[in-house]
A and B are shown apart, each in its own frame.
Chain A
Amino acid sequence: MQNEAPVSEKAIPPSRKSKPRLLAYALIVVSMVALLFYVRKSYLTPDFMQQASSALKRGDEAAAVSALRSEIQRHPDSTAAKLRLAKLLQDSSPDEAIEYLQQIPVSDPQRSNAVQQIAVLCILHNKTSEAETALLELMENSPDSLGPQLSLAELYFKNQKPEAALPFADKAASIAPDRAQTFLLLAEIHDEMLHPEKMIEPLQQAIRLEPDFYEAHLNLAYAYNKTGQPAMAEEQARWCLRINPREVAALRILALAARDLGDFEAAKQHLKTASQIEPLNLDCRILEADLLLYERKPQEAYERLRELYDSHQQTVRYLGALARAAASAGKRDEARELHRRVTKLLKQAQ
C-alpha cells in the first residue's frame, strides 16, 4: 500500500493540486484502499470450510482436517467446524475429537448433538466416566428420551455396575415398552445382581413382544434352572435346540433339568451330545464329573476332569472341581494342593 500513493502522486502534476481536487483525490485513495481491502478479503483470504469440503470431495481427509483446524484457529467459536472436525477425527484421534466437541458451549443449539457424539465416542473407546457424564447431561435435558436411559443402563451393566444400571433399564423399558431387547437387558442386570428370580418376568415380556427372540428363550431356560423350575427350563432349552441344535448352553440346561428331575441317563445323553459339539466345554465336563461322583465313580470323574488340566489350570472353578474329585478318589495330597492353588488364585483376583 505504501508504494501505491507515490505512484499516483507522480501521475498528477503538482501544479494541478488545488485544494478541492486534493480532497477528491483523497476520497478516491480511501475508496481504493477500501476496495483493495475488500478484494483481498474476498479473493485473497482462504475459505477453510470450503477447502475442507473440497478436500473431502477429493477424498483427502488430511487436507480437510488441516483446513478445519485452521478455521477453528481463526474462529475459535465455530461450532460447525468443530462438529465436522470431530467427525473426521473420531477414529484416528478420538481424544482430540472429544475435546473439540466438549468445547461447544451449553448455550449452543448444537450442544445436544455434540454431547451425543461425545457419548458415542466415549462408549466406543471405553471412556466410561466421560460417557457417563455425557449421557447424564443428555438424560437431564431429555428425561423421557429412550437413548440416554438405555445407553446409561448398558454402560453401567457393561462395567459391572448392575445396581446403577437397573433404574435406567427400568425407565428405558417404560419409555419403549415394545422394545424386546430392553427386557433382555433388564433380565441380564438381575442375573448380575444374583437375582435370577427377577429375570423371569422381563424375559417372558421380551418373548411376548418377539416370540422368536432366541436369546430371551435361552436366558429364560437359564433363569428357570436357576430358580428351581426344571420342567420349565427344559421347555425353553428345547425351543432353543429346535432353532440351533448345536447350542451347548441349552444342552447343558437340559442335562441339569434332567438331573433335577432324577433322569440321570437323559442327563448323561445330553452331555454326550454337548461333548460332540464342544469336547472341551468346562461346564459340561464338570457336570459330567458330578454325575460320576454321584454314581460313586470318583476315579473316572477325576480322570475326565484331568483331561482338561492344560487348558484350565488357572481356572478356579475347574481346580475346585478337580480337587473334590481327587479327594473322593483318595488323592488327598493332590486335593490339598489344588485347594491351595484355588485359594492363591482367589487371593490374586482380589
Chain B
Amino acid sequence: MQAFLLGYLLICCPTLAQDAKPQFTDVTGDMKLDFQNYSPLTPERHLHLFMGSGLAWIDHDRDDWPDLYFCQGAAFPTVKTEQPEHSDQLFRNRNGVFENITALAGLWNFDYSMGTAVGDYDNDGFQDLYVSSYGPNHLYKNNGDGTWSEIADQPILNDERFGASCTWADVDADGDLDLYVANYLRLPPDDYPLCSHEEGGKRYPGGCHPRFQKHEYDILYRNNGDGAFTDISQEAGLMSETPRAGLGVFVFDPDDDRDLDFYIANDTVHNQLWVNAGHGTFVDDALVTGVAVNGFGVAEAGMGVNGGDIDGDGRIDLFVTNYFNETNTLYRNDGVAFTDVTAEYGLGAPSKQRLGFGTSFIDVNNDGWLDIFVANGHVQSYPPELERHTPFAQLPQLFLNRNGQRFEEISLKAGAYFLKKVVGRSSGMADFDRDGRSDLAIQHLNDSAAILRNDTESNNHSVTIELIGTQSDREAIGAFMEARIGDRRIVRLCNGSVSYLASDERRTQIGIGEQTALDSVTVRWPSGLTESWRSLGTQGVHKLIEGRGHAE
C-alpha cells in the first residue's frame, strides 16, 4: 500500500519526489547590514516597548535592487533628549551588498516607529513610504533623486494614535492609493496603564492585558489625487462598531467583487474583515465569514497576518500569528466563508508554544507552493529562572508546504539562524541578490536585524513579475495574478503591506518547479481590467503594463 502511494505521488506531484532542501544563510554581517533595534525596556515594562518595529523592502532609487528600510524604536518618552540618536535607517542595496544611506537620503525619523506602507501614492514612479508610530505617523515622499522629504503640509497624516501595521490600497478605484492604518491601544505617556503579573510567588511588572485596555479606531485616508488626503474613517464605516486593538492588516478581495477589502488582525478581540461595499463604505463581515475568531470560537491575539493561495484552489487564504498557548491560525478561503484548518494543515501543534509576530509567505524552493516563515518572541520578559515555561527569546519557524495538502516544519534543517532563540518581530521578503530565490529580512527586539539569504539548491526556477498600473495605481496593489503551467494554476497577489509592520518587495516571484516558463499570466487589475500575457520565461523581470496585455 505504501509503495503504491509513493508511486502515485511521484506521478502526480513531482515536487515531492525531487525535494529540494530549503536552506537559509544568515548573511547580515557579509552584507554590511548593521541595524540594531533600540527599544530600552523600562522597569515598569511599558507595553509598547515590547512590540518591536517594522521593516520595508523598497526600491528607493529604482535600480531594480530592493533596498531595506528599518523602523527604529526609542526610549520611553519621560525625558525628551535634545539630540536623539536612534533613527529609522535606510540601507541601499548595491548588487546585493548594503550601505547605510539614511543621512544621504535625509530620511531621519526619531519617533518610536512601528509599521511601514510602501506605495507610490503620487504615481510618479518612485515608491513612497508611510511610517506609523507610537507617536505621530509620517509620510515620506521619494524625491526620485536619492533624497526624501517628509510631507509636512498634511498634518492629518501625522495622527498620534498608537499606529501599527498600515497599507496602501486604492479602495475607490480612482487610480491613486488610499491609506489604511491599523491602530492599537490608547497608551498615552502621561496616563500609561501599568500592570504586574505573579510568577513563582513574586510579582513582576508587565504589560496590561490588551483586551482590557482602551482600543483605538483604525483610520482610512482617501487620496484626493492632488497630494492631499482626507480622513474618511467615519463615513467609510470604520467607526460603526467598537474600536479594536489592531496590529496586522492585509488587503485583498475575498468576495471577488473586484474591489479591495481589508482584513485586520486584532489583539485579543475579534478580527475584522472590512468588506468594501462600494460607494466608499465598508462593512465588517468577519464573524459571518469565519475569520473573526478561530475554530474554537475564541478571539486570539492577532499580531501579524499574511495571505496567499495555500492550497492551490485559486482563492486567497489567510494566516494570522497569535499568542503563546494559542495556535497561529490558517483560515482557508472556501468561497462563501473561511474555515479554520490550522490543525489539519499541521500548523496548530508547532505554534502552541510560540508567540508569533512576523509571518512571510515565501516559496523557498520555487515549487509554486507558498511556504511559511514565522518570527517568534514573547512580550513578557522574566528573570531566567522563570523563563523555563514562557521563554522571551524563541526559535523562528519555517514550514514547508507539501503540495497544498499540509505543512511540515523544517526549521531545524533550514540553517543556523533557525537554531538560535531570538525575540523576533517583523519579517519581510525580497529577492535581494537577484538569484531568483526569495530571501528574508527580520527585525529582532533590542537586537541586530538579520538578512537570511535563500541558498536552497534545486533545479526549480521562478518567474519574476512587476506590475505597472496605468488606469490602476502605478503599483497595482491588490492586483490578482493567475499563472498557468500546463494544467496547473498558481495564484498570486500583488501585496500591500504584510506580515507584522512590514512590506515585502513589490515584485512577485512565482516558483514554477523545473519548468522554464509560465504558459500565461492573467492579471486582474484594481481598475477592473483583466488581461493576460503568454510565455513568461525565467530570465529577468517581466514588467507587465496595464493595458498592454491581451484583453480577457
Residue numbers of A with Cβ under 8 A of B are 163, 166-167, 170, 194-198, 226-230, 256, 259-260, 262, 264, 290-291, 293-294, 296, 298, 316-317, 320-321, 323-324, 327-328, 330, 332, 335-336, 339, 342
Contacts and interface: CB of A to CB of B under 8 A. Distances in A.
B334 A328 contact: yes
Given A194-B325, A228-B351, A228-B352, A328 B290 contact: yes
Interface in B162-205: 198, 201
B317 to A, nearest CB: 13
B330 to A, nearest CB: 11
B348 A228 contact: yes
Given A197-B389, A264-B344, A324-B337, 5 more contacts: A197-B353, A262-B346, A324-B295, A327-B290, A327-B336
A227 B353 contact: yes
A316 B299 CA distance: 13
Contacts of A336: 287-288
Top-8 shortest CB links A-B: A320-B297, A228-B352, A228-B349, A327-B337, A294-B344, A260-B349, A328-B337, A293-B339
Contacts of B201: 167, 170
A317 B297 contact: yes
Contacts of A323: 287-288
Contacts of A167: 201
A119 B287 CA distance: 48
Nearest to B349: A228
A328 B287 CA distance: 12
A298 B297 contact: no
Contacts of B327: 228
A197 B394 CA distance: 15
B362 interface: no
A149 to B, nearest CB: 13
A323 B295 CA distance: 11
A167 B340 CA distance: 38
Contacts of B293: 320
B344 A197 contact: no
B339 A332 contact: no
Contacts of B349: 228-230, 260
Contacts of A197: 325, 353, 389-390
B212 interface: no
Contacts of A195: 325, 389
B353 A339 contact: no
A260 B325 contact: no
Contacts of A226: 325, 352
B350 interface: yes
A170 B349 CA distance: 29
Given A167-B201, A195-B325, A290 B295 contact: yes
Nearest to A340: B287
Nearest to A224: B349
Nearest to B327: A228
A166 B290 CA distance: 37
Contacts of A229: 349
Given A262-B346, A264-B344, A228 B406 contact: no
B352 A327 contact: no
B289 A228 contact: no
B343 A260 contact: yes
A339 B348 CA distance: 25
5 contacts: A228-B353, A290-B295, A324-B297, A328-B334, A328-B339
B351 A328 contact: no
B101 interface: no
A291 B252 CA distance: 27
Contact of B336 (A262, A316, A330): A330
Nearest to A332: B288
Contact of A335 (B288, B340, B348): B288
A260 B334 contact: no
Interface string B375-415: 00000000000000110000000000000001000000000
B4 interface: no
Contacts of A264: 344
B22 to A, nearest CB: 20
B341 interface: yes
Contact of B296 (A170, A198, A317): A317
Contact of B198 (A163, A296, A321): A163
A7 B336 CA distance: 115
A335 to B, nearest CB: 5
Contacts of B353: 197, 227-228
A298 B293 CA distance: 18
Interface string B268-303: 000000000000000000011110010111000000
Contacts of B325: 194-197, 226-227
A342 B348 contact: no
A228 B376 CA distance: 16
Nearest to A328: B337
B290 A324 contact: yes
A124 to B, nearest CB: 29
Contacts of A324: 290, 295, 297, 337, 339
Contacts of A198: 389
Contacts of A317: 296-297
A259 B343 CA distance: 7
Nearest to A259: B343
Nearest to B292: A339
A290 B295 CA distance: 8
**Most central of A194, A230, A323, A328 by chain B CB within 10 Å:** A328
B1 to A, nearest CB: 13
A294 B339 contact: yes
A335 B346 CA distance: 28
A254 to B, nearest CB: 14
B389 A260 contact: no
A198 B386 CA distance: 11
A311 to B, nearest CB: 18
Interface string B4-17: 00000000000000
Nearest to B354: A228
B289 A227 contact: no
**Most central of A167, A196, A260, A323 by chain B CB within 10 Å:** A260
